[in-house]
């Protein structure tokens, strides 16, 4: 009598069980397919290869006729959006053009000249001003103004500033060679236009030009409080903190020898200050403990949140 093969029976049972278990169905495309290359400017897939530059494959879009590569870079540029955005951030945080160029070389191994950084600065500062200028912040009716001396090409100028007390939003900044009533009035009118309102109180130092300048701008609708030290509510140090916060701004424009360029960079700094750079003094405002920009406290919906996003937006990268 033949003895049963227990080992063979066990193997047969395992095989039978395997066939009873549902198996994964092999799809026609079970692998990860490469993402098709499309034009970064118009989105068209009607493209052809168009040579290699500096080791990078270039393409030509047959629809919009523009060249591009797959680098995350604005049209016609070799540096990436991240590199350009970080360069602008570093500049407005106080680095010189030369220092920014050194940082690009050390961080990204991207040896660009300071003149290239300067072209980025001018181009994207102009774009930032156009993008943010129409925005009206929700600010209080208590403002504080101040002025700071600076030399441009060995000539003395004055930077005028006016800031909202509650949000720390810098409403206006103004560069002038004089320090009188006309300049004080211009500062007030610029701030009122930006805020879309007239303040109830403006605090200033004892500069005589503010007396008539504020009255000419706002008439009897605004109370002008002069003094030193400034007593604003229960906080006697707000003007000192304001001056300390924007002191680095003088470093930003000191290297420029033409007033029009200095004024452009001042307006660019105002964008950086209001919309991109969180302020330590705002941490105690709701939501408490979080870094916030003056724009966030002023209930502004920002179209972009930093320089890198701005470069991508105006560069047209899809």
Tell me what pLDDT residue 33 has.
Answer: 57
pLDDT digits (tens, 9 = 90+) for 93-104: 889 999 999 999
The domain spans of the chain are 34-70, 71-132, 142-306
CA torsion 127→130→131→136, rounded to 10°? 150
* Joined tokens for residue 92: 């407005």
Nearest residue to 199 (alpha-carbon basis) of 181, 219, 180, 173: 219
Stretch among 2-11, 270-279, 281-290 having the lowest mean pLDDT:
2-11
The string of DSSP codes covering 122-153 is: HHHHHHHHHHHTT------SEEEEEEEEEEET
Nearest residue to 189 (alpha-carbon basis) of 157, 231, 143, 239: 143
The H helix count followed by the E strand count for the chain is 11, 8
User: Does position 139 have pLDDT exceeding 80, yes or no?
Assistant: yes
Stretch among 67-81, 106-120, 170-184, 191-205 having the lowest mean pLDDT:
67-81
- Bridge partners (DSSP) of residue 279 are 292
- Residue recorded with tokens 């916060």: 245
Tell me what pLDDT residue 31 has.
Answer: 46
Q: Which fold has domain 142-306?
A: Nucleotidyltransferase; domain 5 (3.30.420)
User: Does position 28 have pLDDT exceeding 70, yes or no?
Assistant: no
Stretch among 14-23, 69-78, 281-290 having the lowest mean pLDDT:
14-23
Cβ proximity of 243 and 160 under 8 Å? no
User: Does position 66 have pLDDT exceeding 90, yes or no?
Assistant: no
Tell me what pLDDT residue 23 has.
Answer: 47
- Binned at pLDDT 50, 70 and 90, residue 281 comes out as confident
> Is the model more confident about 188 or about 279?
188
Question: What is the average pLDDT value for the chain, to the nearest integer?
Answer: 84
């Amino acid at each position: 009598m033949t003895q049963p093969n227990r080992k063979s029976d066990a193997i047969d049972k395992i095989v039978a069980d395997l066939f009873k278990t549902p198996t994964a169905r092999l799809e026609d495309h079970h692998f990860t397919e490469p993402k098709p290359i499309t034009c970064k400017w118009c989105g068209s897939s009607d493209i052809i290869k168009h040579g290699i530059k500096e080791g990078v494959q270039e393409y030509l879009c047959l629809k919009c006729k523009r060249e591009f590569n797959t680098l995350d870079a604005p049209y016609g540029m070799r540096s990436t959006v991240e590199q350009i955005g970080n360069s602008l951030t570093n500049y407005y945080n106080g680095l010189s053009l030369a220092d920014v160029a050194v940082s690009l070389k050390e961080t990204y191994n991207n040896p660009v000249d300071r003149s290239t950084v300067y072209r980025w600065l001018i181009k994207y500062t102009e774009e930032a001003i156009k993008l943010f200028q129409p925005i009206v912040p929700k600010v209080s009716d208590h403002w504080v103004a101040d002025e700071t001396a600076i030399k441009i090409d060995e000539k003395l100028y004055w930077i005028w500033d006016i800031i909202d007390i509650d949000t720390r939003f810098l409403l206006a900044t103004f560069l002038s060679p004089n320090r009188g009533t006309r300049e004080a009035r211009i500062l007030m009118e610029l701030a009122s236009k930006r805020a879309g309102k007239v303040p109830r109180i403006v605090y200033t130092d004892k500069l005589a030009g503010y007396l008539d300048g504020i009255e000419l701008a706002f008439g009897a609708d605004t109370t002008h409080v002069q003094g030193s030290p400034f007593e604003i509510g229960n906080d006697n140090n707000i003007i000192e903190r304001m001056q300390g916060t924007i002191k680095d701004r003088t470093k930003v424009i000191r290297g420029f020898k033409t007033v029009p360029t200095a004024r452009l960079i001042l307006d660019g700094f105002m964008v950086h200050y209001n919309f991109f750079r969180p302020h330590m003094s705002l941490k105690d405002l709701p939501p408490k403990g979080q870094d916030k920009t003056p724009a966030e406290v002023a209930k502004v919906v920002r179209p972009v949140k930093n320089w890198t996003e701005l470069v991508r937006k105006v560069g047209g990268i899809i």
